[in-house]
Amino acid sequence: MVKIEDLKRINLLRDIPDHILEILAREAQLNIYGTDTQLMTIHEEVDTFFMLIMGQVAVKKELTPQIDIIFDYIQSGSSFGTSALMEGSTASYNAVCQEPCEAITLSGKRIRELFKDNHELAYYMLQGAARQYKKKMDIRAKMIMKTLDENPEQKKDIHDIENLTPVI
């Protein structure tokens, strides 16, 4: 069992009322992982949803044996493994602890069962996941715009640039 105070430290859960957090607190586990622990592996089933309390996790994919592409660094308060909410999902990246990490975990199978029984829980969790996704897309759009500002010759060929960030 996890403390409600720990769950409130997670951005995705910030708008969830205490009576719903109590459900998650009963189901969640608190885990400590060492540096270089691989939490998710590309092409393997995603069966755990992670909420990072402490530490940093790199989300990456190997381009060559010498080169990894880092998609993101997950920081304290963030979550990943949202694909665990969908049955049969596989990872499209590796997730590796960059330092010792403390994470709250939930079984994907158990979350899906809870969603069937408690639509309010499903609503709040999916609302938080959508908010998190939009924030990441906004950041990526700003990065693309910065790159285009630094390379104006490429900008002229892009149509509908104002709508670069998808609306969800």
DSSP string, 124-139: HHHHHHHHHHHHHHHH
**Spatial separation of the C-alpha atoms in residues 135 and 11, rounded to whole Å:** 11
Q: Which residue has the tokens 């997730």?
A: 95
- The number of residues in the chain equals 168
Q: Would you place residue 168 in the very low, low, confident or very high pLDDT band (cuts 50, 70, 90)?
A: very low
What is the three-class DSSP state of 38?
strand
Which of these CATH numbers, 2.60.40.10, 3.50.50.60, 3.40.50.2000, 2.60.120.10, describes 4-155? 2.60.120.10
pLDDT in tens, 93-146: 999 999 999 999 999 999 999 999 999 999 998 888 888 888 888 877 787 778
Per-residue burial over 28-61, b if 16 or more Cβ lie within 10 Å, else e, is: beeeebeeebebbeeeeebbbbbbbbebbbbbbe
**Confidence class for position 16, pLDDT limits 50, 70, 90:** very high
pLDDT at residue 79 tops 60: yes
> Which amino acid appears at position 88 of this protein?
G
For the chain, the structural domain boundaries read 4-155
Compute the average pLDDT of residues 14-35.
95
Q: Is residue 1 helix, strand or coil?
A: coil
